[in-house]
Amino acid sequence: MYDIIIIGAGPGGLTAAIYARRANRSVLVLEKESFGGQITYSPKVENYPGFNEISGSELGEKLVEQALALGAEVELDTVTEVRDMGRYKIVRCEHGEFQGIAVIIASGSRHRRLGLPREDEFTGNGVSYCALCDGAFYKDREIAVIGGGNTALQDAVLLSEQCARVTIVQNLASCTGEARLMEILKSRKNVAFLYNTVVDELEGEEQLTSIMLRNTETDRTERFPVDGIFVAIGLQPDNAPFAGVCKLDEMGFIVSDESTVTSTPGIFAAGDCRVKKVRQVVTAAGDGAVAALAACRFVDDSAK
């Protein structure tokens, strides 16, 4: 029986483990893939406090090392279900189950991908999913934003302030984002729109140099040279195993307040898996600290 079980070993989950262990609670961290979370795929992080520049993998390693040094236990396993038993919770995994008084879900979310060959190969080498994280690397260069919703348009606004040219590639006949964002973009001379267009191929040797575009109305294809693309076609949370104990919104994100409390007492949500406006490594870490302190209070109250 652990005091706190943490699901997910990204910045949110590992920060929660650090805070919980410093409060002298027994902690188990469960991770299904690799410790450090999505940030480990970022070749360079320049917006995390305390580091002018650090690779995502190095930042992830430091977080893991700190949690382990404080005595957190870790297991590589995939969580399939969480059950609320009242005074404790059961976390079922593919290879066993664990019991804890409180559970912090920090399972993160992943960017929806284009699903094209070589996409993994070019990630960090011309393919990005975060304009705020990687936009500065494309200063004075020509890029494309894939998508036409609010996130894509917000990314395009940011990128148009530093890139030589921004082309928005939208698979529909119009963008679906806010009119205000469209007005801003249409007023900028370095922004262009391609409608009814999809990306069919990613091209280049070690670095992305061009994309093959296809018009969905005419089926005509053309090679489009770019220095990089920013994919903004939505986020996808991995919250199906928690649907029985957490209220989810229509997109599958966990509904919680700023104190990270979910619809079930003793279960907390931290980081990108929950409903929130800003999803950055630093906000995930902040959530982890808040969730850990809330979980510690729950464990104390349960002992009374």
Residues that are catalytic: 130, 133-134
284 in Cβ contact with 106 (< 8 Å): yes
Angle between helices 179-186 and 150-160 (to 10 degrees): 30
- 289 closest CA partner among 262, 265, 259, 251: 259
Positive or negative CA dihedral for 34, 284, 92, 112? negative
CA dist., res. 244 & res. 7, Å (int): 15
CA dist., res. 9 & res. 56, Å (int): 14
Burial class of 66 by CB neighbour count within 10 A (0 to 12, 13 to 18, 19+) = middle
CA dist., res. 196 & res. 78, Å (int): 39
**253: which strand partners?**
none
Q: Which residue has the tokens 């529909």?
A: 172
Q: How many CB atoms neighbour CB 115 within 10 A? A: 6
177 in Cβ contact with 152 (< 8 Å): yes
Q: Which residue has the tokens 């009374």?
A: 304
